[in-house]
Amino acid sequence: MGTILLIVHLNGLRIFLLYIVGHEHSERQQPHIRAVDLQSGVRPSSPLSITNHACLTNVSKCVEASDSLGKEQTGSSPHCECVIVYIMDSLAEVEHIVLFMQENRAFDHYFGTMAGVRGFKDPNVQVNPDGHSVFFQKVNSFLSNDTDFLLPFYVAAEGGEFINGTQCMDLWPEANTPESWGYYRRSDLQVQFAIAEGWTVGDMYQEGVIAATNPNRVLWQTGSVAVPGGNVNTTQGPVLDNNASPGCTSLTQRLENGTEIESAQNYTCYPFDWKTLPEYLEDAGISWKEFQAYDIDDNPLPDFVFWQNLAANDPTSELAQRGLAMNGGGNWQGGLDLLKKQAAEGTLPAVSFYIGPGELSEHPPARPIDGAWLQKEVVDAIVNSPKYNKTILMISFDESGGFGDHVIPFTSPENTPGEWIINPFTGLPAPSGPGFRLPFTVISPWTRGGVVFTEPADHISQTLFLEQWAAARGTPFINTQINDWRREHMSNLINVFDFENPNYTAVSLPDVPPPHTDPLTSLLDGYTFCENTFTGYVQPPVPYGQQTLTDSLFTETGFKIVRGSLTEGRYLVIESSTKNLALSANDSSLGTSAATNDKFTTPSQRFVIYATDPKLATEKTFRISSAASVIDATAIANATTPFLDANLQFGSINSSAVFNITYEGLGVYNFLESESGNPIHVTHLFVFFPFNLLPSGMPSAYIEIHCTPQWFSTHCGRQFY
């Protein structure tokens, strides 16, 4: 028997009558609606809640489920329940998607100190054979004799003029200079932090190619860099550098002594000849536009034969205007002004690509504070638009710029078709990507509230999301150039959103000064002004031999709500209503304790997960340990951390159980103990997550859907540091 839905009208409002009965739903996707208690008017917090009240006198009919689509019935019966539900937002109702990509910053470099993300307090940080974590980067005698290691360091730690001067810090690593291990804090990135914490930040979003800007932007807007063996039939790849001159280029390797050697000339054979994402959108009847003021080589379309021919043969065509035109006649504000104007009018195309001026791109030496001004302008334009309730803005960065990040990238298995190349200098296979983590934020009514999205993603994910959205709105397309491994292992970003609980409240972003312009030409000159004004304070002193772990790996206190399939690198608080899982007082079993607002001071309520295969991007099986006795990153190797076993007792890693953890959406995670074959019985659910906190009279179908004997379902709700 199934779900019967009847729409009636009550006082001019749409009322949904919902009735669920039977047990077949345990194999089906849960309905995407949420009930409201008719007596209290309260929206329950459970994924699907059904009241057991008699039908209201105002509503004379409800539906009794049957094999024949149901029959109408007057009044109430044991099988007849009437509830009012909110009509949820959905992906299909999204009308505008804005994709805004900045330049050359790594995740740790920007957000390593942020609370509730996989940053400097990562409990799963890689420990190298010498016993040191990857945070300890080796220092040779060419750099310093004061220490053997360099930890991440705050670039403005000296204070004074370094606070302003390091905004235009350059020397991003051409040969892995020590400056690559420097990072900023909240005080330097006030807008970037406010956006990440006001909406959703992704902490496992990776650069698409372990390479420079152009390859990553080509991947962003085509789905491929044409690595041989992939889904693109061309001889023009692989695109691995910024070549924009006809013909092919060599790869260069810089040796430790500063000398360079070159490969054969068979890479990045310009121009390129495969299909671009705007062409896919055009074929599907989806409106789109590239917003840009002038060419800074961040729009990849001019690198392709199709667009070069269009520019040469029909430059005034609508297609050329949408893909290639410079808005504003060279005025640096042109693309931004047009984006803001159309956002204010509610006339943005379905898909917008925004490419800002190079001086505001955050690419060193361009200042983060100038990029903050631009990000605020774009975010405010979208949030203040009359179409904000139907708009999604994604802000990403193209590549790490060589800045350091401590998380080992998820890459495909060796020799995966279209993913691996042969290193011309070693003759050994090497992955083309995905690469190191980047800042990534999603701004919309469905991503509000200090959320961290934990699924592995890269630039391909934005196209995968567009595919899902296009299918939902009835204008489907599939980018056939995306390699199978990426399609299977990189997130499509759907789980970023909670369409059931939109939040339209405003976020007041910090004010930042407008970017500096030349008083004579009115052209942007922020980093030139910075370099000239703060000479001697631009490059931070490297603190060789002067570091402590506490200072170097400083992390703010706080938490974020977790969303998406889980990955390592987090202290988790597993919460259900007023109860939290916790290590019991005798440190030997799992128990519960009252949920508190101060969980970051309660180690017994924190847990760490360890992937059974840390290299697998789609890994769903984990061991679980209490974080109460996690002292350092070597604890797991020494088997000193209490691990949860099949009997919900804590012991060594050798006796630990393996749990399959799946994300069900709406903040709900299912845990299945799988290694021993002994399921966690539903009675454990009542001990640890009592359902008497939910509405009474819950029909048995609800228990069968969400609480089968093999699963326990809870909110893996917040990540704490």
pLDDT of residue 597: 62
Checking if the pLDDT of 545 tops 80, the result is yes
Instruction: Write the CB contacts of 85 (distance below 8 Å, at least 6 apart in sequence).
Output: 16, 18, 33, 34, 35, 36
* pLDDT band for position 681 (cuts 50, 70, 90): very low
> Which has more pLDDT, 677 or 44?
677
CA distance 114 to 21: 46
Checking if the pLDDT of 271 tops 70, the result is yes
pLDDT of residue 588: 66
Top-ranked range on mean pLDDT: pick from 134-148, 170-184, 501-515: 501-515
| Among candidate residues 534, 568, 593, the one where a domain is terminated | 534
Answer yes or no: do 173 and 310 share one domain.
yes
Answer yes or no: do 314 and 434 share one domain.
yes
**Rounded average pLDDT over 625-631:** 68
Top-ranked range on mean pLDDT: pick from 37-51, 309-323, 577-591, 631-645: 309-323
**Rounded average pLDDT over 362-376:** 95
**Rounded average pLDDT over 486-515:** 94
Q: What proportion of the chain, given as a percentage, has pLDDT over 70?
A: 73
pLDDT of residue 138: 87
pLDDT of residue 46: 33
**Rounded average pLDDT over 345-372:** 95
Q: Is 7 helix (H, G, I), strand (E, B) or coil?
A: strand
Q: Which amino acid, 351? A: V
> Which has more pLDDT, 481 or 73?
481
Answer yes or no: do 378 and 519 share one domain.
yes
- For residue 696 the two structure tokens come to 């009474």
431 belongs to a structural domain: yes
CA distance 406 to 260: 27
Tally the residues of the chain: 721
Top-ranked range on mean pLDDT: pick from 12-21, 73-82, 336-345, 516-525: 336-345
pLDDT of residue 531: 87
Instruction: Write the CB contacts of 262 (distance below 8 Å, at least 6 apart in sequence).
Output: 250, 251, 252, 253
- For residue 399 the two structure tokens come to 């590549």
pLDDT of residue 491: 97
DSSP assignment of 663-675 equals EEETTEEEEEE-S
Specify the range with the lowest mean pLDDT, choosing from 265-274, 505-514, 622-631: 622-631
pLDDT of residue 38: 30
* pLDDT band for position 266 (cuts 50, 70, 90): confident
pLDDT in tens, 436-453: 999 999 999 999 988 999
pLDDT of residue 576: 64
67 belongs to a structural domain: no
Answer yes or no: do 530 and 581 share one domain.
no
* pLDDT band for position 228 (cuts 50, 70, 90): very high
CA distance 167 to 188: 8
Specify the range with the lowest mean pLDDT, choosing from 26-40, 441-455, 474-488, 567-581: 26-40
**Rounded average pLDDT over 114-138:** 91
Cα Rg, the chain, nearest whole Å: 27
pLDDT of residue 370: 95
| Among candidate residues 534, 568, 591, the one where a domain is terminated | 534
Q: Which residue has the tokens 């505008």?
A: 96
Answer yes or no: do 501 and 590 share one domain.
no
Q: Which amino acid, 451? A: V
**Rounded average pLDDT over 306-329:** 91
CA distance 136 to 566: 26
* pLDDT band for position 40 (cuts 50, 70, 90): very low
257 belongs to a structural domain: no
| Among candidate residues 673, 690, 716, the one where a domain is terminated | 673
**Rounded average pLDDT over 314-335:** 86
Answer yes or no: do 303 and 172 share one domain.
yes
Checking if the pLDDT of 665 tops 70, the result is yes
Answer yes or no: do 391 and 323 share one domain.
yes
477 belongs to a structural domain: yes
Checking if the pLDDT of 495 tops 80, the result is yes
**Rounded average pLDDT over 193-214:** 96
Answer yes or no: do 528 and 596 share one domain.
no
**Rounded average pLDDT over 573-587:** 65
DSSP assignment of 362-400 equals --TTS-HHHHHHHHHHHHHHHHTSTTGGGEEEEEEES--
196 belongs to a structural domain: yes
Q: Which residue has the tokens 């550098």?
A: 241
Domain count, the chain: 2
* pLDDT band for position 628 (cuts 50, 70, 90): confident
Answer yes or no: do 384 and 461 share one domain.
yes
Answer yes or no: do 527 and 583 share one domain.
no
- pTM for the predicted model, two decimal places: 0.82
Range of the domain at 435: 96-125+140-224+273-534
**Rounded average pLDDT over 543-549:** 91
317 belongs to a structural domain: yes
> Which has more pLDDT, 202 or 260?
202
> Which has more pLDDT, 225 or 24?
225
Q: What proportion of the chain, given as a percentage, has pLDDT over 90?
A: 49
Query: Taking every pair of C-alpha atoms in the chain, what is the biggest distance, in angstroms?
Result: 87
Checking if the pLDDT of 177 tops 90, the result is no
DSSP assignment of 597-630 equals S-GGG-GGG-EEEEESSTT-TT--EEEEEESTT-
* pLDDT band for position 600 (cuts 50, 70, 90): low
715 belongs to a structural domain: no
- What is the residue-averaged pLDDT of the chain? 77
91 belongs to a structural domain: no
Give the CATH number for residue 151: 3.40.720
pLDDT in tens, 375-414: 999 999 999 999 999 999 999 999 998 899 999 999 999 9
Answer yes or no: do 486 and 374 share one domain.
yes
Answer yes or no: do 483 and 596 share one domain.
no
* pLDDT band for position 578 (cuts 50, 70, 90): low
